[in-house]
Structure 1
Amino acid sequence: MQIHPMWNDFPSLKEDLPKVIQLIDQHIKIRDTKIRSTLKEVVHAGGKLLRPAYSLLCHEIGPEKNKEKAIAIAAALETLHMATLIHDDVIDDAATRRGQATLQKLHDNKFAIYAGDYLFSMSFTILSKYSNSLSHLEYNSRSMEKILIGELNQLHSRFQSPNSVKSYLSRISGKTAQLFAVSCYTGAVESKATRRQARNAWNMGHYIGMAFQIIDDILDYQGDKETIGKPVMADVQQGVYTLPLIYAMQGSRPLLEPILAKDRPFNDDDLAIISKAIAEQNGIEKASKLAELYINKALKELSKLPDGDYKETLYDLTNQMLKRTT
């Protein structure tokens, strides 16, 4: 089973992450062979598996190390992530994801929505089998609720003129950072880590998630379709105005507001003006500095965790976040 080549540098994760995907695959139990095959294609689509990786690593924090449980919890979290991506693609009417056609492009929105719902329910099924306690299952349920609220907030804010850095950070805190935080926290809790250690893991995951989304938003302006799997400035075209543009608005609002108020889609001249304003206002550089700040906060939380081989892996993996190009 092939996984992303980035894991060649992390042998233990390279061994365990395919087992995560295999477990998700085994839980897809639908009689209709076509639907089952389609969902399995989604599972094997080749994501980076960062969230399950962080969960697996944080399962090394506490004294109780159960590999079967760790893989199952990681599988539940990745299943949840896959579900949110499917729903994201429906909202964005995205034609591709990771360079491949999305479910609603291949089928239709109804099929994609139900497929995402099925994966949501499957994540709870896996969690219920392996979670230590009902209270922890309830905690994960509340966390999932926050993730969905973050998705709804992003949907509600589409095509609205960017207001502030603060509102953007609040949005991505629920949309992206919450799942990273839950992944780290759940891994720690299920290993019987102390309450303080679990809190450190949560904070670390939150800061990592914040940095991850900021960098992802930077790549929307800097990358290309071949490397990031979607057209450049796709978020802008979908009315999702992210941090580089928010920084540009601070100094170029009279120039940008009339463009953002126009009927969609934006033409090439509009996109060129937006791109130029971001460059002139150093939007990319300012966003990169904020991402680096969050990475440093994550590493500070990491430094408080017990020593072990996992800790060095967490350090290396988290540092790589600032260097990613896809």
Structure 2
Amino acid sequence: MVNEAKFWQDMPEVQQQLNQIDPIIQDNLASIKGKLGEALRYAFSASGKRLRPAFVLEFGQLQKPAKNDRLLKIATSVEVLHNATLIHDDIIDESPDRHGRESIQAKYGKQIAVYAGDFLFALSLRMLSNNTSKITNLRINGSAIQNILAGETEQFGNEYNMQITKKEYLDQIRGKTAILFGYSCFIGALEGGFKRKVANQAKKIGESVGMAFQLKDDILDYTAESSVLNKPVLADVVNGVYTGPLIFALEKDPDSKLHDLVKKGKDLTTADLKEIDHWVKDKGGIQAAEKLATDYTNNALELLEKNFKQYPRYEVIKQIIDKLLARQY
């Protein structure tokens, strides 16, 4: 994808390592036949930014360069896990597309999509168990994956809920996004030779990055062109998924103009969406979300400096975190 290639264009060393992930995935999928195999290979035929494996690799190489491909396979397992959650998300949401292409469930049907997601969860665990260096790490992996799956359910039941609070929204994005970012940094740090106490600091960094990342995604729904995002602008609002900018704007809507629009739910027109976009910006929803994203980013950077500034790859991780907040796609 153009946007994903653009993100890493000024970091060729990172891009070079991430380019090794796709061949590992395809090698693991090569023996899977029929529609399931076709669906799985389709799922990885257009790569994303690979942010989660990037954090595994960077924290895994903070103290010293990786000596073999074990760390790369661990990073790949995290990308596989991420894609498993996306496939299941699209089934639950009945989403017709993902990143500007047909979703697995739309293209191959829900039955194949369920098996594809399940297969990727199993593949991720197998890759982790074959490559993590300590048996304790396998216990950690199992616990982390449980937490990730539990976190995914935080968003259930809140569709078209105009009473959703800031705390509930933040809990949602913590489960949806931040937990896996935290795990990526944590497992990378452990595999890179850091003690559990230090790895927990890496985990906190990742979770703050994940919170900022999702907030930025939700901001871009209002500020970016649909062609850039590869999805219709304000698609989440139509689907009853209310995110930070809208939630914060609703809190500052005493005259209920925005409330009255959002109440239309599935009956929102294109004109309604344009008006919602106007009121979200007018009521300061974008600014509130941007401030929160900046706060999470600054927290991540402060923890990074406090715990890892002495290591050679510190500047690389800092650059990635800065780029995530500044991106427009």
Q: TM-score, normalised by structure 2?
A: 0.93
Structure 1 segments unaligned to the other structure (5+ residues): none
Aligned mates of 2:225, 2:149 — CA distance in 1: 29
Pick which of 169-178 and 93-102 moved more.
Answer: 93-102
Q: Which residue of 2 aligns with 1:264?
A: 266
Asked if structure 2 preserves the Cα contact closer than 8 Å seen for 1:39 and 1:115, the reply is yes
Match of 1:81 in 2: 82
Corresponding position of 1:323 = 326
- The answer on 1:277 being equivalent to 2:279 is yes
Offset at residue 12 of structure 1 (A): 2.0
SS at the partner of 1:230? Answer: coil
Q: Structure 1 residue 312: deviation in Å?
A: 0.9
Match of 1:121 in 2: 122
Q: CA deviation at 1:260?
A: 3.4
Partner of 1:95: 96
Residue by residue, what CA displacement relative to the aligned partner does 1:92-124 show, whole Å, maximum 9, x if unpaired? 222222221111221212221221111111100
- What is the 5 A alignment of 1:53-72? 53-62=54-63, 65-72=66-73
CA RMSD of aligned residues (A): 2.0
Q: Counterpart in 1 of 2:311? A: 308
Matched, 1:223 2:224: yes
The residue number in structure 2 matching 1:108 is: 109
Contact 1:197 1:305 in 2 (8 A): no
CA distance in structure 1 between the partners assigned to 2:202 and 2:232 by the alignment: 34
1:29 to partner: Cα distance? 4.8
Tell me which residue corresponds to 2:51: 50
Q: Look up the equivalent residue of 2:304 and give its one-letter code.
A: L
Q: Distance in 2 between matches of 1:171 and 1:66?
A: 38
**Contact 1:177 / 1:209 at 8 angstroms: preserved in 2?**
yes
The alpha carbon displacement at 1:259 in A equals: 3.6
Superposition pairs for residues 161-240 of structure 1, below 5 Å? Answer: 161-240=162-241
Equivalent pair of 2:39/2:108 in contact (CA under 8 Å): no
Q: Which AA in structure 2 matches 1:117?
A: D
Percent identical across equivalent pairs? Answer: 35
Count of aligned positions: 326
Tell me how far apart the structure 1 counterparts of residues 26 and 141 of structure 2 sit (CA, whole Å).
22
Deviation larger for 20-29 or 57-66: 57-66
Deviates more, 1:91-100 or 1:48-57: 91-100
2:172, 2:74 → 1: CA distance? 26
In the alignment, the residues of structure 1 paired with residue 32 and residue 131 of structure 2 have an alpha-carbon distance, to the nearest angstrom, of 25
Unaligned runs of 5+ in 2: none
- CA drift of 1:210 comes to 0.3
Question: Does the 8 Å contact 1:66/1:191 carry over to 2?
Answer: no
SS in 1 for 2:242: coil
Corresponding residue for residue 292 of structure 2: 290
1:147 counterpart = 2:144: no
Q: Distance in 1 between matches of 2:318 and 2:172?
A: 26
> Could you list the per-position Cα deviations for residues 192-234 of structure 1 after superposition, in whole angstroms to 9, with x for gaps in the alignment?
1123321221111011000000000111122222111111001
- Measured after TM superposition, the shift of residue 35 of structure 1 is 3.0
Superposed displacement of residue 34, structure 1: 4.2
Q: Return the offset for 1:239.
A: 1.1
Relative to 1, partners in 2 of residues 1:265 and 1:144: Cα closer, same or farther, differing over 3 Å?
farther
Q: Distance in 2 between matches of 1:197 and 1:67?
A: 23
How far has the Cα of 1:53 moved from its partner? 0.4
Residue identity matched to 1:215: K
